[in-house]
Amino acid sequence: GHYEYNGKIFLEGLVFGELLEEDMLIQLWTGSPLASLQEKKLPERDMYWKNALIVAVGNEKAHVAYLASANDVDETVEKNVPLDRIRIILGADESIPDTLEEARLMAMGGEEIQVVPSVDASSNNKAQIDEATGLSTWSTVAIKRTTVRQEVKEERKRTREKRKQALAEQEAKEKEIAARKMEEAKAANADDSALGSIYFAELGREVQGYKGVDISDTGDDKLTIRDTAK
């Protein structure tokens, strides 16, 4: 699950995948996808390992970001990278264990339960006899070990989850406000259309029942200038 090269200890992603978390510094294999695990360990293949950052961690896969070439300004994001293309440099940053023992412990979830025989002075360290079976037994004590780094990692995870939840709630609230404004705009437009229809209906009735002089009257009785002078 690990190997040493050029004074550094590398942890294989397949074995130490539980250590991965967002923003962690790792190395990504960019060589042939057909290369075996043994080939990837060869010193002459080291050029194909590029520094990268974990963007997200999924089920035995991860999204990673890296610079494809030294001249690139924008990072390349590769999704669903299998763990056999990832390795971790022991102690590379504060989120990565400094020792193999701690790395193994964190790979098991950050906890280890050791069961050891208990020491009872009154029994003179003699095995107790099980009355049901007649066989000797030892009483045991379970000791739970948890790394400080694992506790910090879990706290960072809780903080990220809270941040994501807050962003999701904010986005939902903004969508709700936008939808409400759209409904209000539709209602206002509907009211304007209704008022317009009433206005034109009333205008139509007024024109139809107009009581003044109808200048469009084409009847025989026409007013002349002489008539208006009377």
Residue 121 has pLDDT above 50, yes or no: no
The pLDDT score that the predictor gives to residue 142 is: 47
What's the mean per-residue pLDDT of the chain?
75
Segment 59-65 mean pLDDT: 92
* Tens digit of each residue's pLDDT (9 = 90 or more) over 130-173: 555 555 555 555 455 556 666 666 777 777 677 767 777 777 88
Q: What is the SS3 string spanning the chain? A: CEEEECCEEEEEHHHHHHHCCCCCEEEEECCCCCCCHHHHHCHHHHHHEEEEEEEEECCCEEEEEECCCCCCCCCEEEEEEEHHHEEEECCCCCCCCCCHHHHHHHHCCCEEEEEEECCCHHHCCCCEECCCCCCEECCEEEEEEECHHHHHHHHHHHHHHHHHHHHHHHHHHHHHHHHHHHHHHHHHHHHHHHHHHHHHHHHHHHHHCCCCCCCCCCCCCCCCHHHHHC
For residue 2, what pLDDT is reported?
92
Which residues is 57 bridged to in the sheet? 62
Q: Are 97 and 91 in contact (CB under 8 A)?
A: yes
**According to the model, what pLDDT value does residue 68 have?**
84
- Candidates 211, 83, 103; CA nearest to 147 is 103
Q: Percent of the chain beyond pLDDT 90?
A: 29
110 dihedral zone (left: phi>0; alpha: psi -120 to 50; beta): left
The per-residue pLDDT for 223 is 52
Strand partners, 111: 146
Nearest to 51 by CA among 37, 31, 73, 67: 67
Per-residue pLDDT reduced to its tens digit, 200-209: 555 555 555 5
Taking residue 100's Cβ as centre, other Cβ atoms within 10 Å add up to 14
pTM score of the predicted model: 0.53
